[in-house]
Amino acid sequence: MGINIDGDNFLRSLDKAFGYINNSDKVYQVVTINPEMYAQAEIDSNFKKIIDEAEIVVPDGIGIKIALKLKGQNADRIPGIDYARRILEWCAKNNKPIAIVGSKEEVITKAVNNLKKEIEGLNIVYYHNGYFDNNDKIYEELKQANPRLVLVALGSPKQEYFIYNAKNILPPCLMIGIGGSLDVWSGEVKRAPQIYQKLGLEWLYRTVTQPERFKRIFPALPLFLWKVIKYKEDK
Ligand code: UDP
């Protein structure tokens, strides 16, 4: 359907990220794609270009996993929050400095404190809340801090644009758009129970517990699957 997704397994996708952090010669972008982002790419060609040029695109939503399955490809669903967490743990072990940008001030402060407590050796060299007007100031501060991993939680598509525009500015690093992950790490928002995660129903849990999401998620998921099925039939 015009978008390339790394239909890999979780561990291989992690290895790819570790490799980019180790040998980084430029800014690498990770997009964790879901059906809402696919819908956005359909109406916004600049956003589509960002996804096309991203070095890693992992299937975050269950909708994407089903789409790949319908095309005969078995891929692990890779929730961005788990992917980013594993990379944080790896950075702590391998002494790689990290930076985090996004979410409200109290949310990022709590998330940073919790992460430092939970992950031994984590070296957070810079963090900033996600409510700023001047991107250049944040890029400049990131440049000074010189992290190898930058997590960006501004919601989509804002975070993908922020990362893409950093590509020619920041020193080599891996940058990941992590959506609402800081809200979870801060303890402000509860993650869906394991059973929902296993059944691929995390979206249902989030829609029910955060009804404001319903408007966003509900049309995107069935519409996306309908398009996937239709696309298959047309071929
Ligand atoms: N956010 C931000 N700046 C903005 C808009 C959003 O920092 O200008 C933050 C917001 O506080 C939240 C995250 O971005 O922590 C967006 O989370 P959302 O749940 O919308 O992301 P999703 O996981 O659905 O992409």
Q: Domain boundaries in the chain?
A: 10-188
Half-sphere exposure of 135 (CA within 13 A, CB side): 13
**CATH architecture of the domain formed by 10-188:** 3-Layer(aba) Sandwich (3.40)
- Residues in the chain with pLDDT values less than 70: 232-235
Q: Ligand 1: which atom is nearest the Cα of residue 101?
A: 7
Cβ atoms of residues 139 and 145 within 8 Å: no
Using one digit for the tens of pLDDT, what is the confidence trace for 75-98? 888 999 999 999 999 999 999 999
In 10 A of CB 124, how many CB atoms? 21
Q: Whose CA is nearest to atom 6 of ligand 1?
A: 154
Burial of 143 per CB tally in 10 Å (0-12, 13-18, 19+): middle
Of 8, 5, 22, 13, the closest CA to residue 173 belongs to: 22
pLDDT tens-digit map of 94-117: 999 999 999 999 999 999 999 999
- Which residues approach ligand 1 with their CB closer than 6 A? 102-104, 130-131, 153-156, 158, 179-180, 182-183
Q: Structure pTM?
A: 0.94
Name the one residue in this structure whose structure tokens are 């099925």. Answer: 229
Ligand 1, pocket-test mutation among 103, 138, 152, 209, most atoms within 8 A of CB: 103
The three-state secondary structure class of 29 is strand
Q: Are 70 and 166 spatial neighbours (Cβ–Cβ below 8 Å)?
A: no
